[in-house]
Structure 1
Amino acid sequence: MMKKAMRISTLFSFSLLLPILVFGAIPSPKQVLGFEPGEDFKLASWDEILKYFDVLQSSSENVKVIELGKSTLGRKFIMALISSKENIENIDQIRKIQKKLHDPRTTSPEEAKELVKKGKAIIAFTCSIHSTEIASSLFSMRLAYWLASSNSPEVKEILENIVLILVPSLNPDGIDMVVDWYRKYLNTPYEASQMPWLYHYYAGHDNNRDWFMVALKETEIMTKVYYHEWFPLLIWDIHQMGQNGPRLFLPPYYDPINPNIDPLLWRELNLLCSEAVLELTKAGKKGVATNAIFDGWYNSANRSAPLRHNAIGILSEAASANLASPVFLRPQNLSSRGRGIYDLNLTQSSYLEPWEGGWWRIGDIIEYEEIVAKTFLKRIAREKERYMLNYYEFARRQIEKGKNEPPYAYLIPLEQRDIPTTLKLIDVIQKGGGEVWRAKKSFKAEGVNFPEGTFIIPLSQPYRAFIKDLLEVKVYPERRVGGALEYPYDEATWTLPLQMGVKVFESNQPINVEMEILPHGFKIKGKVTGKPSSYLTLSGRSNNEIILLMRSIKNNFKAYYIKENQPPYKKGTIFIENRDPKTLTKWVEELGISASWAEKNPKDLIPVKGKPGLYKPFIPNMDEGWTRLVFENFEIPYESLNNSKIRAGDFKNLTSIILPPMNAKSIIEGRSSQDVPPEYSGGIGMEGVSNLKEFVRNGGTLITMGSSSEFPIEYFGIKVTNVLKEDREKPPEKREFFAPGSILLTDSTGSIITFGLPDEIPIFYNEEPVFDSKEGNAVLKFPDFNPILSGILRGESLIKGKSPLLEVPYGKGKIFMFGFDVIHRAQAHGTFRLLFNALIY
């Protein structure tokens, strides 16, 4: 009956639209949705948004909807092109012109001046990557309607001179999660509560931290759009922040500013945003912040990656309502994070017109965003040629820097510990639009001989800033406010060669050797050496060996390891029974790894451990999501464990359990029933603690990550201390230790779980626990000297000789305590193997 009613309702809706479509009028969002976007208590599902854009495309010659692919969970992922009829008909030629402008190596300055007369400014507006920041997905329909329906001179000028790429949501899956949750609990005590799961299936809020690594489907789709197909000169990423801060943030960005980005590009961005702020002020929109909160340093967001690709990358952050429910805020409710704004009730240079408080609605957010959008569109339309020529100029200046100042290139030799991971690093650069070449002959650079086949990344290319920013070592500038060291907005560094364990050399001399461009998707075939015998052996050098191991176990090949050295085999060596040499060889070749047939049969073989369980709390945990993604990428089967399974001790067939980073109190108590519906409240409870202890005592492995390492310290009675705990409890201005999102050097102690890894291992570290122990074994130790490799570190004496990774025996089992971010947003391939080994040994 319900389905029949829904079909009748849908038919009725389209019957109402039929006269509009027949007679050529452009339907408004209200006519299609049944409400005006921005109304209190009203949200649109992804299907409803798709329906509106489909209807708009059918009724307007100024709109073309393009399906780009599927989201993580299989929903349609679209963008709408909005421009004049003539521009849409000639879109291929417009794209060709934009592509020529993006690469001045193929276009002279004189030719560029002619091209900007013929071309159109391609720009992109992207909405609701963070699905609880949902106003912009509604805004997108209102903006599209205005552009499609208005006959005003200003709109005609916009459509004539601009091709707008409008993405209604960068996370369609999350839109439906949020809308379904909100509609279900509207007018209940849980109307404003946070969902008990991530709004991106793997990354949650971190889906906007994937714009160089490109580990998620959505970022892969849009990175291809941005840097391979459409080359927009502006990307505006539309966000929301908390309720109690400024009503809107727009650049200029807060310090520090990344020096790899052209000052001319910064000036262009600031000039355009200043005009938008001016228009907001003229319209009486108060509470606008600039030069505050959001810095210009870090790389991984949708507003920062474009800046490294010669595009104007703009972030806006509007204050949130309770999704579509209005909130009332008094002046005393308003608060600031610091970072450029210190009292929201006072006029200051970064906040010239304070908002006095009152009701704040989703419609207010949309009104602010519409003023910004119209300012950007009108200004670029009026000065289309200047913006296009500057886009060309930004790229030309990058190429000239690459030609005339060091570093001139990055060199990646073939001799690497992990070839597939090396190729993954190259793939990251290529997906981001960077060019990688390969030497056709041997050559010498800075006195070092490099063989034929060496990968070369010259910096005399348009996306020099992107490449350099990923590969160089960072020195984050020390900044103090009120005596306390000021934290970066996100992280101090992201140097990929260090995170991924890949040897990359910076050349401060030009490279003169014949070379050829490396095609995308380049692979090196794996190889099995020796004569077929009873076992295939794995050396531990490549992460992809884990895929081979998991496939083997899945297909009923028995797999073992050795606990002690048995020359020529080192402890930790994996032995896979040779039931089918053809299949094993095929997998080795496909995965690009090296393996060998055993020269002799080893003694004392121990079966590889089985499936892990991964704790999935009802407090959304991004590290849990990233861990799932990495496990699935490496074909590691796992079981998600919720609170009830742990309380019941339901650990059948599990050999290890992983606790993602979260404090012990949250693990045990979870969320309050006042905050979420009862079925999502609570944690594992003390019965869960007892079950985990029994699991380890009986031979299981407990793996803790980051802050969850405090859990066994508090509840298992182990003699381990976090040497930073006392310092972390001090007021910020009195703290000695400071290491926000930096890469530090550690020394391996030779534990079996370091099998295959080098003696010195860089780790991504973000002020997580560091251990001193009277029992157990340090797997990694910080050296006696300053271990900083990239980023910033102060107070290093506190961690000298201490351990960020500990193995503690407990009954018949053991606890591996990872005090650092071993996965780090699927970037830290150089330490993945530590976690993988902890699962199997």
Structure 2
Amino acid sequence: MLLLAAVASLALPAYASAAPMADAAAITTPKQALGHDLGEDYFLASYRQLQTYWKSLDAQSDRAQLVEIGKTSEGRPQYMMVVSSPENLKALDRYRDIAAKLAKGEVSEAEARKLAGEGKAVVWIDGGLHASEVEPAQALMLAVYRAVTDNDAEWLRILDDTVILFAQVNPDGQDLLADWYMRNPDPKQRVAGASTIPDPRAQTPQLYHKYIGHDNNRDFYMSAQAESTNINKVLFRQWFPQIVYNHHQTGPTGSVVFMPPFRDPFNYNYDPLIMTELSEAGAAMHSRLVAEGKPGSTMRSGATYSTWFNGSLRTISYFHNAIGILTEIIGNPTPMPLPLVARNQLPRNDLPSPVAPQTWHLSQSIDYSLSMNRSLLDYASRNRERLLFNIWKMGANQIEAGSKDSWTITSHDIERLEVAAKGKPTPPQGGIDPALYAQVLRDPAKRDARAYVIPADQADFPTAVKFLNALIKTGVTVQKANAPFTAGGKTYPAGSFVVLTAQAYRPQVLDMFEPQDHPQDFEYPGGPPVRPYDTTGYTLAFQMGVTFDRVLEGVSGPFTPISDLIAPPPAKVSGSGAAGWLVSHRLNDSFILANRLTKAGQKVYWVDGASSAEGQDLGTGALWIPATPKAKAIVETAAAQLGVPAYAQGSAPTARLVQVKTPRVALADVYGGSMPSGWTRWLLEQFEFPYTVVYPQRLDAGNLAKAFDVLVLPESVGIEAQGIERRRRGPGQPKPEDIPAKYRSWLGAITAETTGPQIAAFLKAGGAVVAVGDSTGVADMLKVSVTNPLTETVDGKVKPLPGTKFYIPGSVVSARLDTRAPLAWGMAADTPMFFDSSPVFRIDPTAKGIKPIGTFATKTPLMSGWAFGQERLEGTTAVVDACVGKGHLFLMGPEVNQRGQSHAAFKLLFNGLYLGAAPDANPCQ
């Protein structure tokens, strides 16, 4: 031990004393803890085993400190292991404080250089986010063991220069997948999902996150779920790492692993220094693998990943001036074939070292992951001071940009510049007239906002507060006005909120308020579109229906920064009338109030007409709550806790009153889980709607009207809408005998032959069906007289328009609503909706009992994202109310509840639920 220490000190004298060697013999090995080696064929460790093992390592090693960062959706503790040299761990608060000061960009350059010289690079390394991608969670466990036992000179240097945050980011999923894989006592019969040969037996019965499955990596700017909230708190409010490494699986076919650099386009909002540092880090990782004789790493064109979208764990980092790393690696505890792909045997810039076809083992993938971890940590160590200074520099750049006139240039600005240059002479130096730069690209009317003001007097202020909390969860600084103030020539009331762009996280601010302007991205002129990594338009302020003003000049006033999440400001129960209370239907949280009242046995009505109280316009469909002592207590609590104002009246409204009752909701799902169904479960719970999850076998059994008032058919439960591109499906369903008996009733499919007649009978008896997205294909089952106009007939078959004619891969568009219809009560006439290759409708003009509720009224409905051929939407119908017998079929083509974000459109779903239990509100017969 002493000899080894002496050798290490000769090699790296500056680091040996700071990071003394660990006594590896005193630390429990994975095999001692688990009975298996990590990466061993036919074995997966669970999160229960991970947390027990990490607690042992925490107790045994002076390099490790175990931290609980919060609870998961299922209530498990979510752990992060902090690893560094023992000396660094003793000064951990100091290094965290340095990281925070530099990331916020608020110190002087001289102070930043001093802090960068003193600080330690902070690197986040995770695993397990997508639990069916089993390799990252297993590699994470071994990485922590190696981190506390490796004693080579390079590692001792890394420990001295860095603070490493190792985190399991989906504990619930790891337990589910490990238990599912290990349930078979015969190891050779165990199958896992991340394989080139999908096996239905690997399909877990439910999603590998309690609510949202794979979409747990789409929630990071919204922070709706517990885990993303925990992670964002560590990344952007506590530790501020300069590098965020998010491990995933599986790699592109014919290669081993994809890693950055990524393909274009990158998002125009973040600092360009991110892109250069990202390329540096990616190059270091590729070089390490090649040097170690680990072939098969690919980049850029090797896969579809880009850096445009904000919502995933690594991409949100770019909007916070941190390097976000994604790797996608192959691997399976059941040995798998690595297939031969001809083009991947020819070396090229994006695949410098091809890999031979072979039988691949999980242990090989873990070896790659450990090498990639170390290469990134070596990069962080060697560039420690520069990384720390550069995160300050990017933050300072953003503060400066938000403090003066600035412009964000997009591809459409360049198109305008080229149009302006047409017909003008070419300057002697080439190019186009430089005067056009100022005229087009520096148009004063198009400059970036200096601030965004969210007024307190908007129609649904509690929802605006939820939006602000999403910003705060991601580290954005929000300020509250303590008194009235003026900005941009307009006066705002006290209690309004201000988000200044002169802050380090300005890219995140812009991305949440401004429309995403995604370029027209085609393989070649006139060719097919290049499919984006994820959605192209998602502006959260639009999706949530928040009223805000862009202020182009500097703003100051009686503002106080908000230090933590905001509670909705208490509302008033005003008036002295004793008959009851009026509550506006415009507030989403009014549905929570209604659900609490009906659950308590209190009566609630909708007013069929316009209402006002104390000079406030309450809109159509306001809630009328007759006075009782119990109702009074519930109304007062909602006003105080939810911010829902109520107006006491001396008499009941004279307009027709429609009593609403607690709807008995059936929510469709399928074996393996539908993510939209899971999001809908989460949403119903947030707004306190009771529901029952039903599977195809229950629907096929019929007699639905006896148990339910309304059936919700969310996106992706196996119904195909006419002319809609088939969504990607999983490996299929297992045989009943291959799964435990308790899950067999979940098997089956919604079919026109068996399920269709039962849904028809339910509707004819007076039930309601809310169908969203591709599930609107139920209209075809029921022979409702609507068609999809965005189709063409090819060889006698109806097909969606090709992407060369129409393409909206995930964007925010505006729909015109008939707010006189009960389904749209409380909504804005022009409402943002999320459109992702969604169905739209044309109603047969001769059909009776079918009404358009939402239509696309212009040739340019796009609000945010990418919409090629958007003019084809003009005159089409987005939302339909169709009578089928006594019941209503509500067809909602756009995803009105997409990923828990589209608060502006939630009322379509919620109104549909209540109308299912209130047939008198909108009678079909």
Name the residue aligned to 1:222: 231
Q: Is the 8 A contact 2:883 2:889 kept in 1?
A: yes
More deviation in 352-361 or 265-274? Answer: 352-361
Opposite residue 166 of structure 1, the aligned amino acid is F
Using the aligned pairs only, state the percent identity. 30
Name the residue aligned to 1:785: 859
CA shift, 1:84, in A, is 1.1
Q: 1:805 aligns with which of 867, 873, 879?
A: 879
How far, CA to CA, are the matches of 1:23 and 1:256 in structure 2? Answer: 46
Q: Is the 8 A contact 1:310 1:395 kept in 2?
A: yes
How far, CA to CA, are the matches of 1:768 and 1:727 in structure 2? Answer: 18
Name the residue aligned to 2:74: 73
Opposite residue 509 of structure 1, the aligned amino acid is E
> SS of the counterpart of 2:65?
strand
Q: 1:748 aligns with which of 817, 827, 836?
A: 817
Residue 267 of structure 2 is aligned to residue 268 of structure 1: no
1:462–1:166 distance in 2 versus 1, CA, 3 Å: same
Residue 547 of structure 2 is aligned to residue 548 of structure 1: no
How far, CA to CA, are the matches of 1:566 and 1:539 in structure 2? Answer: 8
Cα offsets for 1:94-153 (capped at 9, x unmatched): 212222222232x22212222223222221101110001121211122222222112221
Q: Is the 8 A contact 2:40 2:362 kept in 1?
A: yes
Name the residue aligned to 1:235: 244
Name the residue aligned to 2:429: none
How far, CA to CA, are the matches of 2:372 and 2:48 in structure 1? Answer: 27
Name the residue aligned to 1:796: 870
Name the residue aligned to 1:832: 906
How far, CA to CA, are the matches of 1:746 and 1:823 in structure 2? Answer: 15
Name the residue aligned to 1:613: 666
Q: 2:626 aligns with which of 566, 577, 591?
A: 577
How far, CA to CA, are the matches of 1:126 and 1:438 in structure 2? Answer: 35
1:67–1:593 distance in 2 versus 1, CA, 3 Å: same
Name the residue aligned to 2:550: 506
CA shift, 1:431, in A, is 1.2
CA shift, 1:731, in A, is 8.7
After superposition, the CA RMSD in angstroms is 2.5
CA shift, 1:816, in A, is 0.3
Opposite residue 280 of structure 1, the aligned amino acid is L
> SS of the counterpart of 2:898?
coil
How far, CA to CA, are the matches of 1:498 and 1:95 in structure 2? Answer: 35
> SS of the counterpart of 2:158?
helix
Name the residue aligned to 1:309: 320
Opposite residue 487 of structure 1, the aligned amino acid is R
Name the residue aligned to 1:8: none
How far, CA to CA, are the matches of 1:443 and 1:284 in structure 2? Answer: 64
How far, CA to CA, are the matches of 2:674 and 2:607 in structure 1? Answer: 35
Q: 1:760 aligns with which of 830, 838, 841?
A: 830
Name the residue aligned to 1:14: none
Q: Is the 8 A contact 2:769 2:890 kept in 1?
A: yes
Name the residue aligned to 1:689: 756
CA shift, 1:514, in A, is 4.0
> SS of the counterpart of 1:257?
coil
Name the residue aligned to 1:643: 696
Opposite residue 695 of structure 1, the aligned amino acid is F
Residue 420 of structure 2 is aligned to residue 420 of structure 1: no
CA shift, 1:367, in A, is 1.4
1:485–1:22 distance in 2 versus 1, CA, 3 Å: closer
Name the residue aligned to 1:632: 685
Opposite residue 820 of structure 1, the aligned amino acid is P
Q: Is the 8 A contact 1:723 1:772 kept in 2?
A: yes
CA shift, 1:488, in A, is 1.4
Q: Is the 8 A contact 1:326 1:360 kept in 2?
A: yes
Question: In the comparison of the two structures, how many residue pairs are matched?
Answer: 807
CA shift, 1:451, in A, is 4.1
Q: Is the 8 A contact 1:411 1:457 kept in 2?
A: yes
Residue 840 of structure 2 is aligned to residue 770 of structure 1: yes
CA shift, 1:721, in A, is 0.6
CA shift, 1:766, in A, is 0.8
CA shift, 1:603, in A, is 6.0
How far, CA to CA, are the matches of 1:803 and 1:437 in structure 2? Answer: 40
Name the residue aligned to 1:464: 506
CA shift, 1:401, in A, is 1.4
Normalised TM-score (structure 1): 0.91
Residue 528 of structure 2 is aligned to residue 484 of structure 1: yes
Name the residue aligned to 2:646: 595
How far, CA to CA, are the matches of 1:328 and 1:816 in structure 2? Answer: 47
CA shift, 1:675, in A, is 9.6
CA shift, 1:557, in A, is 0.6
Q: 2:257 aligns with which of 248, 252, 255?
A: 248
> SS of the counterpart of 1:410?
strand
More deviation in 457-466 or 238-247? Answer: 238-247
How far, CA to CA, are the matches of 1:211 and 1:536 in structure 2? Answer: 39
> SS of the counterpart of 1:484?
coil
Opposite residue 527 of structure 1, the aligned amino acid is K
Residue 212 of structure 2 is aligned to residue 198 of structure 1: no
> SS of the counterpart of 2:220?
coil
Q: 1:658 aligns with which of 687, 691, 712?
A: 712
Residue 890 of structure 2 is aligned to residue 820 of structure 1: no
1:394–1:528 distance in 2 versus 1, CA, 3 Å: same
- Show the 5 A alignment for 1:39-54: 39-54=40-55
Residue 578 of structure 2 is aligned to residue 524 of structure 1: no
| Ranges in structure 1 where 5+ consecutive residues have no aligned partner | 1-20, 335-342
How far, CA to CA, are the matches of 2:339 and 2:384 in structure 1? Answer: 43
Q: Is the 8 A contact 2:597 2:634 kept in 1?
A: no
Residue 306 of structure 2 is aligned to residue 257 of structure 1: no
How far, CA to CA, are the matches of 1:567 and 1:465 in structure 2? Answer: 41
Normalised TM-score (structure 2): 0.83
More deviation in 86-95 or 182-191? Answer: 182-191
Q: Is the 8 A contact 2:604 2:623 kept in 1?
A: yes
Opposite residue 298 of structure 1, the aligned amino acid is F
More deviation in 518-527 or 65-74? Answer: 518-527
Cα offsets for 1:378-405 (capped at 9, x unmatched): 2222332222112221211111111122
Name the residue aligned to 2:180: 181
1:441–1:190 distance in 2 versus 1, CA, 3 Å: closer
Q: Is the 8 A contact 1:190 1:676 kept in 2?
A: no
1:608–1:49 distance in 2 versus 1, CA, 3 Å: same
Q: Is the 8 A contact 1:572 1:755 kept in 2?
A: yes
1:149–1:598 distance in 2 versus 1, CA, 3 Å: same
Name the residue aligned to 1:368: 368
1:143–1:662 distance in 2 versus 1, CA, 3 Å: closer
How far, CA to CA, are the matches of 1:753 and 1:507 in structure 2? Answer: 35
How far, CA to CA, are the matches of 1:659 and 1:299 in structure 2? Answer: 28
Q: Is the 8 A contact 1:402 1:408 kept in 2?
A: yes
More deviation in 583-592 or 299-308? Answer: 583-592
| Ranges in structure 2 where 5+ consecutive residues have no aligned partner | 1-21, 193-198, 407-447, 722-728, 916-925
> SS of the counterpart of 2:900?
coil
How far, CA to CA, are the matches of 2:307 and 2:611 in structure 1? Answer: 53
Q: Is the 8 A contact 1:548 1:588 kept in 2?
A: no
Opposite residue 718 of structure 1, the aligned amino acid is V
How far, CA to CA, are the matches of 1:771 and 1:401 in structure 2? Answer: 45
1:672–1:376 distance in 2 versus 1, CA, 3 Å: closer
> SS of the counterpart of 1:255?
coil
1:567–1:431 distance in 2 versus 1, CA, 3 Å: closer
Q: Is the 8 A contact 1:725 1:769 kept in 2?
A: no
1:509–1:665 distance in 2 versus 1, CA, 3 Å: closer
1:357–1:452 distance in 2 versus 1, CA, 3 Å: same
Name the residue aligned to 2:771: 704
Opposite residue 574 of structure 1, the aligned amino acid is L
Name the residue aligned to 2:443: none
> SS of the counterpart of 1:506?
strand
CA shift, 1:211, in A, is 0.7
How far, CA to CA, are the matches of 2:802 and 2:749 in structure 1? Answer: 34
1:730–1:318 distance in 2 versus 1, CA, 3 Å: same
